[in-house]
Homo-oligomer: A and B are copies of this chain.
Amino acid sequence: MINELLPPKRILMGPGPSDVHPHVLKSMVTPLLGHLDPAFLTIMDETMELLRQVYQTKNKATMAMSGTGSAGMETVFVNLIEPGDKVLIGVNGLFGERMVDVAERCGAEVIQVKAPWGQIIDPQQIKEMLQQHKNIKVVAVVHAETSTGVRQPLEEISHIVHEHEALFVCDMVTSLGGCPTDIDQVGVDAAYSGTQKCLSAPPGLAPVTFSARAVDVMAKRKQKVQSWYLDLSMIQAYWSEDSERFYHHTAPITMIYSLREALRLIVNEGLENVFARHKRYGDSLHAGLEAMGLSLLVEKEHRLSQLTSVNIPEGVDDLAVRKRLLEKYSLEIGGGLGELKGKVWRIGLMGYNARQENVTYMLAALEDVLKEENCNIEHGVALQAAEKLMNK
């Protein structure tokens, strides 16, 4: 006999999912509409409009794919790439590696530009590769590398990519709603994200956006997209204000309710205020961690506010600390992935969680658990160091 659902209440400060905004949770009990109901089509229109605002774009082709962030990645590659196309991918973390895997499964010839995990991709290396290999169709980088906490500057790369007439693709899973994405200003041709990080909705949808150039490239494909489920040539006729709204697959209605509400809250707060809030509490967390004597993986200039990788001090048991935080404080942080496994903790301050309470609770809980683990840190100084930056 399985009982009604009553899980423990966690505080989700790992790399995602992060806590869902209570208003967003509330929106999810809204009874369903049919996926072709005029009232639902209006909700889709509103969602597209809000999504454009949060992505900072006027791109018509801006919609939510019916899968998690990784389905967004797959959407971009299966639709832009045909077998034999050359793709240049910046790899400085797990999600760059994932792009390589996904692009290869589409039949792409992948060329990689690498950087050590925790550092940015060097635009000059992108330039060299574009000069060396002719006819590269797509250049892709991760804007906010969830596996490291690096924020990749995009402007210079975008300029180089467009000089070589390639399409510029960005993974924005952890950046959307947490820092400026500036799709139009930067000149990003395709981007994808998830709902479960800085948007503070549950995981399950992948917001994507495509420039007119990218839409044009898709329209000129010679072969069918290998994924029926993610084929934008059909999905664009459903997710579009001025089409006949052809049925493709049954849209995940409740998830779209949650996305609409999440975006609405962000737009109501004001994008600039939301970004400033992430920066304020990110800075204050960083100050607190450093005051405690901990070091951060990423140098200050390229650190994300919404996701911070902390180097695990020598001799400290990674799993024991995370387990203790979960059991004693019901607080989730993330471990390292891939080559950073066992080497870093990843702390998220995303969306609704980018607040004073979360910074204070995290620093207090971590200080206590590290003390229990006999880790040699400074005591009683983290909160003050953090608080100094909270009211700036």
The residues of A with any CB-CB pair to B shorter than 8 Å are 2, 4-5, 7-10, 12, 14, 16-20, 25-35, 37, 39-40, 43, 46, 49-50, 66-71, 73-74, 98, 101-102, 104-106, 194, 196, 202-204, 224-229, 247-255, 257-258, 260-261, 264, 267, 326, 332, 337
Contact = CB atoms under 8 A, between A and B. Distances in A.
B250 A194 contact: yes
A5 B31 CA distance: 11
B74 A227 contact: yes
Contacts of A69: 249-250
A254 B32 contact: no
A247 B74 CA distance: 17
A29 B26 contact: yes
The 4 closest A-B pairs by CB, nearest first: A204-B252, A202-B254, A70-B249, A28-B28
B34 A12 contact: yes
Contacts of A43: 5, 7
A227 B39 contact: no
A342 B203 CA distance: 38
Given A5-B257, A17-B253, A98-B228, A202 B264 contact: no
Nearest to A196: B250
Contacts of A253: 17, 196, 202-203
Contact of A10 (B34, B227, B254): B34
A106 B9 CA distance: 43
Nearest to A106: B226
A102 B34 CA distance: 25
Contact of A326 (B7, B8, B37): B37
Contact of A28 (B29, B33, B35): B29
A261 to B, nearest CB: 6
Nearest to A224: B105
Given A68-B250, A203-B251, A29 B34 contact: no
Contacts of A332: 34, 37
Given A4-B261, A32-B196, A254-B255, 19 more contacts: A2-B49, A2-B260, A2-B267, A7-B30, A12-B32, A37-B326, A37-B332, A68-B251, A69-B250, A70-B229, A70-B249, A74-B229, A101-B228, A102-B228, A105-B225, A202-B255, A203-B253, A204-B255, A252-B255
Contacts of A67: 66-67, 71, 229
Contacts of A249: 68-71
A229 B12 CA distance: 24
Nearest to A265: B4
Nearest to A335: B36
A224 B258 CA distance: 34
Contacts of A71: 66-67, 229, 249
A194 B2 CA distance: 22
A228 B71 CA distance: 9
A238 to B, nearest CB: 12
B10 A252 contact: no
Contacts of A26: 29
Given A28-B254, A66-B67, A252-B202, A74 B2 contact: no
Contact of A255 (B25, B33, B46, B255): B255
Contacts of A16: 250
Nearest to A254: B202
B2 A46 contact: yes
7 contacts: A2-B264, A14-B34, A74-B229, A203-B254, A226-B227, A247-B337, A255-B255
B37 A29 contact: no
Contacts of A25: 28-31
